[in-house]
Every structure is written in structure tokens, then in C-alpha cells.
Amino acid sequence: MSNRYVIGVDLGGSRVRAVLANEKGEFLDRCEFPTLADKGLYFVLERILECVRSVSSNAPRIDAIGVGAPGPINSKEGVVSNPPNLPGWVNVPLAKLIEEKTGIPTFLGNDANLAALGEFTYGSGKYVQHLIYITVSTGVGGGIIIDGQLLEGHNGAAGEVGHMVVQPGGPKCSCGGYGHLEALSSGTAIAKRAREAASLNKDTIMIELAGSVDKINAKIVDEAAKKGDPLALKLLEQAGQWLGYALINLIHIFNPQMISIGGGVSEAGELLLGPARKVVFEGLMPVFKQDLQIVKASLGGDVGLAGAVALALQESAKSKV
Ligand SMILES: [Zn+2]
């Protein structure tokens, strides 16, 4: 079982990244290419294989490959269903395709679920057994780990926390539903509300920071809030409160020890987490508050790669038992 080597791949809409890792999960080599998803499935597949070949050249052998890809995913079948940022990908058996070309056992996971696994194995959740990880960026995704096990569900699609209803009849979500957490607290939603508010109330530094109302994005809101802009602070507070309502539901159902919040919007730190924590601790039954921590995730941009490595190590350990 000693000296295992695995490859972790993070397939995103804009870039493909891969790392070679040892069994401690330490990254030994890495590779990155633009995805160029509009060139089609086989072009992207070749990019992934090129990355895999590049990082594996320094290892005596590779025991497994873990791949994180945008959901929806059927992780049990290793199939990418039809992600919005990989146009033309419909029910692609990605794990099988990579395995056939490399001869290495390959395992697929939803990128947000794998980010949860990465944060659990190597990041803020390293010392807990029950973790809910939520990434707040362009969208909102997550993963639920209870008793040290990632919750996968019937199709391996569990943990879509961004699509919980937190405001019935609220704004339309990217999935077609209404009032979902993603439609209220994602970077996209925060930016949209910021532009609407700034067009009515010109008394905000966001317009100056962005250059014009229509250029305001979530990063500008964060920057303005950190400079004390009241409107930007209010927008992050609201996003944090909606996140808090979603967390009350999740915590009452799953009884986690830790909630770890990652993704670009989490860079706002306490400006987002503070209001979320306040809503949560006011809304929970006492037993659920015991030892509960709500923290910012610690792995940053490599969290998906860390999760893909953790998946590959887990699966290769199973096959050697
Ligand atoms: Zn939704």
C-alpha cells in the first residue's frame, strides 16, 4: 500500500488542471491548459489526456485518476450529464473514456462534492467527521460529509445546496426554479442586485470603482464593502442572511460539526459569514449549536484538485483491500 501515486484532474469551463500527488496528498507536479470547450468533446478529452501524460511522466506508476467535473454528474456511472459550461456534452462517459486511453482506473465526481472532500481531507475540515462545505461563487454548490462519508444519493447528484428554496416566489434561478439560494446569494445574484440598487441610488462608490453601473460585479461589491460603502455592506449582509436561512435547514437535517464556506464570494470573509452566523445561531435548536463552527474554507483555488486527489486515493485504497 505504500508509495501510491495518483492524478487529480479538475475540469472547469475555462481551464483543465491536473496534479500528480503522493499518498499524503502532496502535489508533486502540475499542469494547466485552457479548456476551449467550444472546440468539442474530443478536443477537451485530448487536453485532459495531455495534462495526465505530462504530470505522470515523473512517477514510477499511477494507481488511480480522480476527475472533478461540473455537475450534474452521475458519479456512480462516471458520466457527465449536461453541464451548462461544457456545451455539447450530453451523457459523456468521461471516466470510461479516460480509463480506456490511459489504462488507469478513473473515478469521476461532481466538482463541488469533490471540493467538499478536499476541504474535509486536507483543509478546514481535517479534524472533524461531519462537514458541510458550500462554495459561493458564480453559482452556489456544495457537498455533505457525514460520519466521514460523502453523501452521494441515488444518482450521485446529492448536495446541490444552491438549489434549496430560501425565498418562496423569489428571483429565478439558473436551474429554472424560483427563490433558490443560488438566485439570492451567488456572486451573479449579488452583482445583479448591486446594479439594480446602484441605478436607483447613485450614492455608492461601487459606480466609481467599476467605471459604470453596468460594470459592477461581485468583486466590486466586496471591494466597496471593505471600504465601508453602506449599500455594498447591505448587499453582502442580505446574501449572508439568505445563506444563514439555508444553513438552518441543513444543520437541523444533518447535524454537522463544521460549515466551511469557500468560493470567490467567501473572500468577503466576516462581511458575509457574520450575518450568516447571526441568523444561524438565532434560528437553531440548542443541541445543534454545540461545538458548531462556521468558518471560511482554507484551501482556496486548489480545493477541487485536492478533492480529485482524495477521491483517487480513496478508490485506489479500496481496490487494494
Ligand atoms: Zn436553482
Spell out the domain ranges in the chain.
5-116+302-319, 128-298
How many of the other CB atoms lie within 10 Å of CB of 64?
Answer: 24
The answer to whether residue 75 scores a pLDDT higher than 90 is no
Give the chain's mean pLDDT: 94
- Residue 164's pLDDT band (cuts 50, 70, 90): very high
**What are 15-26's pLDDT values in tens digits?**
999 999 999 999
Mean pLDDT computed over 308-315: 96
Ligand 1 centroid–CA 173 distance in Å is 5
Dist. CA 162 → ligand 1 center (Å): 6
What percentage of the chain carries pLDDT values higher than 90? Answer: 81
Beta bridge partners of 16: 11, 33
Could you tell me which residue, 90 or 236, shows the higher pLDDT? 236
What's the 171 CA to ligand 1 centre distance in angstroms?
10
Rounded alpha-carbon distances, angstroms, from residue 252 to 120, 249, 255, 292: 20, 5, 6, 12
Which residues are found with C-beta within 5 Å of the ion, ligand 1? 163, 173, 175, 177, 180
Mean pLDDT of 250-263: 97
pLDDT band per the 50, 70, 90 thresholds, residue 2? low
CA of 172 to the centre of ligand 1 (A): 8
How confident is residue 81, by pLDDT bands cut at 50, 70 and 90? confident
Mean pLDDT of 187-216: 95
> How many A from CA of 35 to the centre of ligand 1?
25
Give the residue-averaged pLDDT of 90-113. Answer: 95
197 CA distance to ligand 1 centroid (A)?
23
Q: Is residue 156 scored above 70 in pLDDT?
A: yes
What's the pLDDT band for 321 if we cut at 50, 70, 90? low
Confidence band, pLDDT 50/70/90 cuts, at residue 184: very high
DSSP string for 69-126: EPSSEETTTTEE---TTSTT--SB-HHHHHHHHH-S-EEEEEHHHHHHHHHHHHSTTT
Please tell me the CATH code under which domain 128-298 is placed: 3.30.420.40
Identify the CATH number of the domain defined by range 5-116+302-319: 3.30.420.40
- Indicate if the pLDDT at residue 76 is higher than 60: yes
289-316 average pLDDT score: 95
CA of 164 to the centre of ligand 1 (A): 7
On the question of pLDDT at 61 being above 80, the answer is: yes
Distance 80 CA to ligand 1 centre (A): 19
- pLDDT over 70 at 203, yes or no: yes
Same fold, 5-116+302-319 and 128-298: yes
CA 199 – CA 14 distance, rounded (Å) = 31
